[in-house]
């Protein structure tokens, strides 16, 4: 069976890092019984420049047919003046919403070779392995009403609505509890129940589903501001963190930076599952388009390569291949090879050299 992979490189460093991913896919095609066909299309500002929309209907059709979508990054100052509904980020948000990719998995693991590159002390992040489960299709990102109203007299009102319903909270909480059972069996649910009714509902519904179905898993509730603080104080207290769309966006950037660089962290956005294979799935690095370093061969392709590794696990049911790729990355880091973001600034290799080193390591260990 040939797997269909849609690659959407996007903007900024997106195309550079996806080029390295393409080589890795190629390697698995040639060296394993993994068969994948790749197709390329536009998203974000790149799509806007050609199609005047940040994702076209024909790209959405391809996305719906694909077994997995690999995305680079979207956005950049070039599109600052574009109408709001066509801004690069809108393309990514439409993919998430229309494919109902409600479960965003953002692991923050620290490769031992990099335990010195974090802004935090080594003992705080050494062997760190936490997973943020972010709700991705609801909350304030999509809530209505929204908009900017002109109230006259030079006064305007900006509105967004944080809204969650029981079923949305239950389905994301289930994903978190199921994943925790395969890890260290602990879930921390994070919201602002002290300020927001939607947070209170979140708290009560997570508590309810826990009592009903997952009482074997340890559950803890933590206010989102405290969670941000605890993440930088002692991150190893966490196993799985489940949280809403907005808090998940913020907390996952914090968690990612614990591990040394945003350039290291992959993510998976998954739709409803049939057994263990997810119907729709999009994989992307947690980092953004980094326009300041785009085109300079400075980008770290590891987050994107590890995102492909997540697809091997969650979309293609190939745990062994996923492990092999992670091992190759880990070995390359153990050899001291670094892109600029994870180097001490004196000696580093290019995006392309990092990709090639990982391929070489795959050859060595397979």
Q: Are strands 281-285 and 68-73 parallel, antiparallel or unpaired?
A: parallel
Q: Spell 47-70 as b/e; 16+ CB within 10 A means b.
A: bbeeeebbbbeebbebbeebbbbb
Residue 89 C-beta: closest distance to ligand IPM, Å:
4
Among 356, 349, 314, smallest CA distance to 70 is for 314
Element (H, E) at 122: helix 122-125
Among 291, 273, 220, smallest CA distance to 74 is for 291
Interacting residues with ligand IPM (CB under 6 A):
74-75, 89, 92, 249
Q: Does the protein bind Mg ion through residue 244 (CB under 5 A)?
A: no
Q: Which is nearer to ligand IPM, 205 or 249 (CB)?
A: 249
Choose the contact partner of 103 out of Mg ion, ligand IPM, none; CB within 5 to 8 A by kind: none
Q: Which is nearer to ligand IPM, 177 or 283 (CB)?
A: 283
d(CA 311, CA 351): 21
Is 225 designated active site?
A: yes
Q: Which residues pair with 219 in a beta bridge?
A: 187
d(CA 325, CA 331): 10
Q: Which is nearer to ligand IPM, 89 or 178 (CB)?
A: 89
Q: Which residues pair with 191 in a beta bridge?
A: 223
d(CA 307, CA 81): 31
Can you give the C-alpha Rg of the chain in angstroms? 20
Q: Which is nearer to ligand IPM, 89 or 356 (CB)?
A: 89
Choose the contact partner of 92 out of ligand IPM, Mg ion, none; CB within 5 to 8 A by kind: ligand IPM
154, with CB counted inside 10 A (0-12, 13-18, 19+), is: exposed
Choose the contact partner of 44 out of Mg ion, ligand IPM, none; CB within 5 to 8 A by kind: none
Residue 210 C-beta: closest distance to Mg ion, Å:
27
Catalytic: which of 22, 41, 48, 141?
141
Q: Which is nearer to Mg ion, 249 or 326 (CB)?
A: 249
Residue 103 C-beta: closest distance to ligand IPM, Å:
13
Choose the contact partner of 100 out of Mg ion, ligand IPM, none; CB within 5 to 8 A by kind: none
Find the helix packing angle between 88-98 and 57-65, rounded to 10°: 40
Is 249 designated active site?
A: yes
Q: Which residue is nearest to Mg ion (CB)?
A: 249
Of the listed pieces 22-30, 214-222, 241-249, 294-302, which binds Mg ion according to CB under 5 A?
241-249
Q: Which residue is nearest to ligand IPM (CB)?
A: 89
Residue 75 C-beta: closest distance to ligand IPM, Å:
6
Q: Are strands 240-243 and 266-270 parallel, antiparallel or unpaired?
A: unpaired
Residue 194: helix, strand or coil by DSSP?
coil
What's the distance, CA 196 to chain centroid?
Answer: 26
Choose the contact partner of 337 out of Mg ion, ligand IPM, none; CB within 5 to 8 A by kind: none
Is 100 designated active site?
A: no
User: Contacts with Mg ion: how many residues (CB under 5 A)?
Assistant: 1
Site string for Mg ion, 245-264 (x = CB under 5 A): ----x---------------
Q: Which is nearer to ligand IPM, 264 or 328 (CB)?
A: 264
Which residues, other chains included, contact 233 with Cβ-Cβ below 8 Å and sequence gap of 6+?
A: none
Omega before 198 cis (within 30°)? no
Choose the contact partner of 341 out of Mg ion, ligand IPM, none; CB within 5 to 8 A by kind: none
Name the site residues for Mg ion (rule: CB under 5 A).
249
Q: Cite the active site residues.
A: 141, 192, 225, 249, 253
């Amino acid at each position: 069976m040939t797997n269909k992979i849609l690659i959407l490189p996007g903007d900024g460093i997106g195309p550079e890092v996806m080029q390295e991913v393409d080589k890795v896919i190629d390697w698995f095609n040639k060296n394993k019984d993994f068969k994948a066909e790749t197709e390329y299309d536009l998203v974000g500002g790149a799509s806007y420049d050609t199609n005047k929309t940040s994702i076209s209907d024909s790209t959405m059709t391809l996305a719906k047919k694909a077994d997995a979508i690999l995305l680079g990054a979207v956005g950049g100052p070039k599109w600052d003046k574009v109408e709001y509904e066509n801004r690069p980020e809108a393309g990514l948000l439409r993919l998430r919403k229309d494919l109902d990719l409600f479960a965003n998995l953002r692991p923050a693991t620290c490769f031992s070779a990099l335990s010195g590159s974090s802004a935090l002390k080594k003992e705080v992040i050494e062997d760190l392995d936490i997973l943020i489960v972010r709700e991705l299709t609801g909350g304030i990102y999509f809530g209505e009403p929204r908009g900017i109203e002109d109230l006259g007299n030079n006064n305007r009102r900006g509105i967004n609505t944080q809204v969650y319903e029981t079923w949305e909270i239950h389905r994301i909480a289930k994903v978190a509890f199921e994943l925790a059972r395969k890890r260290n069996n602990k879930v921390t649910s994070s919201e602002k129940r002290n300020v927001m009714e939607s947070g209170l509902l979140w708290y009560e519904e997570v508590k309810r589903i826990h009592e009903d179905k997952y009482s074997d898993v340890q559950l803890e509730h933590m206010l989102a501001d405290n969670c941000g603080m605890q993440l930088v104080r002692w991150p190893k207290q966490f196993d799985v963190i489940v949280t809403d769309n907005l808090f998940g966006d913020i907390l996952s950037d914090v968690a990612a930076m614990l591990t040394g660089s945003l350039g290291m962290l992959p993510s998976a956005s998954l739709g409803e599952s049939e057994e263990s294979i997810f119907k729709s799935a999009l994989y992307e690095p947690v980092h953004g388009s980094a326009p300041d370093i785009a085109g300079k061969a400075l980008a770290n392709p590891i987050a994107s390569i590890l995102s492909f590794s997540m697809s091997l696990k969650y979309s293609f049911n190939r745990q062994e291949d996923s492990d092999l790729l992670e091992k190759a990355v880990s070995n390359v880091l153990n050899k001291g090879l670094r892109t600029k973001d994870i180097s001490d600034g004196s000696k580093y290799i290019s995006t392309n050299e990092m990709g090639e080193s990982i391929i070489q390591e795959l050859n060595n260990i397979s």
